[in-house]
Structure 1
Amino acid sequence: MTRRAVVTGGGTGIGKAVARRLAGAGDEVVVVGRRLPILEAAAKEINTEIGAERVSAAVADLTVPNQVEALAARFAGDGLDVLVNNAGGNPAHAPDDLTGLADAYLETFRLNVITAVLATEALLPHIRRPGGRIISVSSIAGLRGPGAYGAAKAALHGWSLGLAQQLAPQGVTVNVVAPGFVPDTEFWSERLTSELAADRIAQIPAGRAGTPEEIAAGIAYLASPDAGWTTGQILQINGGTLLGRG
């Protein structure tokens, strides 16, 4: 049976790599985001690469409840096997007063937590039981900070672990992938300098940055039928930058 998957933030970077990996394995994938041209370009590129029309695009701002509801309506009666919550962001501005600080934290929480919560809650009635897979993309920042982005990703962890306990009896797994330094993403497109890249790589025992494809490989395992006994976990993929914790 062909599985169906949704990848939010699926037009670029890690999301696009996940869509490519799942579609290449035979899944039907819907990439979701706010920018239709980027989503359509990603879908066309992947479909051309695999020689099949398995990736399609859907536009939704996942911070807006009625847009998320409209997205979920697409799956009524058809079912969904895999949800990858990859949408997120880190507003690149430094607040200079308490009002700005509050706004920065609220916006970062909206982009990284509300997007995942709304998408998951809306799509949850359509996720197959047993066998459904929910994977959220976090960051090494959620395990060691700093600031609003680290706090938002840490909140994503706590929410995911609670959801894992709730859904485990129904045969649905919930996990998190926390990547380290992966520069080939939009997250870094406007803020990465050669000095910053060198500093980040110097902290990695493996001696190099990661790639979207390496993160996608970990997500693909958690999304697979073989991962049915893996739930409530935070998978770090970071070249040894932050070691596992018991």
Structure 2
Amino acid sequence: MTRSVLITGGTSGIGRAVAARFAADQAEVFITGRHADSVERTAKELGVHGVVCDATDPGQVAELGARLGETLDVLVNAAGGLAGSEPAPADASPLEALSVQWQASLAQNLLSAVLTTASVQDRFTSGGSIISIGSIGAERRGGSYGAAKAALAAWNASLSAEVGPRGITSNVISAGYVAGTDFFRGQMTDERHSALVHETHNKRPGTLDDLTETVYFLASRGARHITGQTIHVNGGAFTTR
């Protein structure tokens, strides 16, 4: 049976790679993004449905459901990233600028997942999966971005308890350093790359395949008893016990 999959932030990075993975499995995939040109281009390249939607905008998210089918099997909240696209006004005080930056981080990395999940939650079938992309930044040196990702994990725990009785799982994948994305916006240096790789136990950066295969597993029959968890995928750069 063909599964229906919704992926926010699906035009680049982890979101795009996840969309390609599910599309290869013949799922009916919907991706969202803020910019019409990149949504249209990516949807065409991957053979999926594209929906222009800013996941931080309640009005746009409310309209998202109308573009989907009656049921949904998998939701991947991949929208997010470092804040900075909406700078504070030039005459803003230091505290006003700080507020803008923190609100942007929370909107992009927490509220986007909360709003999207709430908008489609009633469409989930029993056996459905909600997977949100977190970050190792939630554990250390993360600033406003890390704080938002830590809040994402806390929200996931309560969401899991809410949807679990309906047979729906909800988990966060906490990603470490992943090569092959534009997360650092061209600011990655050889020195920083080496330092991040050195922190891992297996002495390599993460790959998009590492993330997409973990997402795919959490949406599989083999993961039906895994819920409310934060799964760390970082090569041992951060460990749990």
Amino acid at match of 1:241: A
Deviates more, 1:62-71 or 1:139-148: 139-148
Using the TM superposition, give the Cα deviation of residue 123 of structure 1 relative to its aligned residue in structure 2, in angstroms. Answer: 0.6
Q: TM-score with structure 1 length normalisation?
A: 0.90
1:67 aligns with 2:64: no
Amino acid at match of 1:143: E
Give CA deviations for 1:67-86 in whole Å, capped at 9, x if unaligned: 0011112235x200000000
Q: What aligned pairs does 1:1-246 form with structure 2 within 5 A after superposition?
A: 1-47=1-47, 55-75=48-68, 78-92=70-84, 97-128=94-125, 130-245=126-241
- Whether the aligned pair in 2 keeps the contact of 1:91 and 1:104 (CA below 8 Å) is yes
CA distance in 1, matches of 2:204, 2:36: 33
Give CA deviations for 1:199-229 in whole Å, capped at 9, x if unaligned: 2112122111111121010001011122211
Using the TM superposition, give the Cα deviation of residue 244 of structure 1 relative to its aligned residue in structure 2, in angstroms. Answer: 2.3
Deviates more, 1:34-43 or 1:150-159: 34-43
Amino acid at match of 1:16: R
CA distance in 2, matches of 1:118, 1:91: 18
Amino acid at match of 2:31: V
- Whether the aligned pair in 1 keeps the contact of 2:83 and 2:108 (CA below 8 Å) is no
- Whether the aligned pair in 2 keeps the contact of 1:14 and 1:213 (CA below 8 Å) is no
Amino acid at match of 1:59: V
- Whether the aligned pair in 1 keeps the contact of 2:134 and 2:172 (CA below 8 Å) is yes
Give CA deviations for 1:22-59 in whole Å, capped at 9, x if unaligned: 11112110011112222232223323xxxxxxx11110
Amino acid at match of 1:221: F
The residue matched to 1:138 in structure 2 has which SS? strand
Give CA deviations for 1:65-119 in whole Å, capped at 9, x if unaligned: 110011112235x200000000002125999822222221111001101100000
Using the TM superposition, give the Cα deviation of residue 166 of structure 1 relative to its aligned residue in structure 2, in angstroms. Answer: 1.0
Deviates more, 1:89-98 or 1:19-28: 89-98
The residue matched to 1:62 in structure 2 has which SS? coil
CA distance in 1, matches of 2:127, 2:14: 23
Structure 1 runs of 4+ with >4 Å offset:
92-96
CA distance in 1, matches of 2:17, 2:209: 6
- Whether the aligned pair in 2 keeps the contact of 1:206 and 1:239 (CA below 8 Å) is yes
CA distance in 2, matches of 1:230, 1:60: 30
Structure 1 unaligned regions, length at least 5: 48-54
- Whether the aligned pair in 1 keeps the contact of 2:84 and 2:104 (CA below 8 Å) is no
Structure 2 unaligned regions, length at least 5: none
CA distance in 1, matches of 2:35, 2:182: 13
CA distance in 2, matches of 1:92, 1:98: 16
* Percent identity of equivalent pairs: 39
CA distance in 2, matches of 1:40, 1:212: 22
Deviates more, 1:106-115 or 1:198-207: 198-207
CA distance in 1, matches of 2:55, 2:83: 16
Cα RMSD, aligned residues only: 1.8
- Whether the aligned pair in 2 keeps the contact of 1:8 and 1:33 (CA below 8 Å) is yes
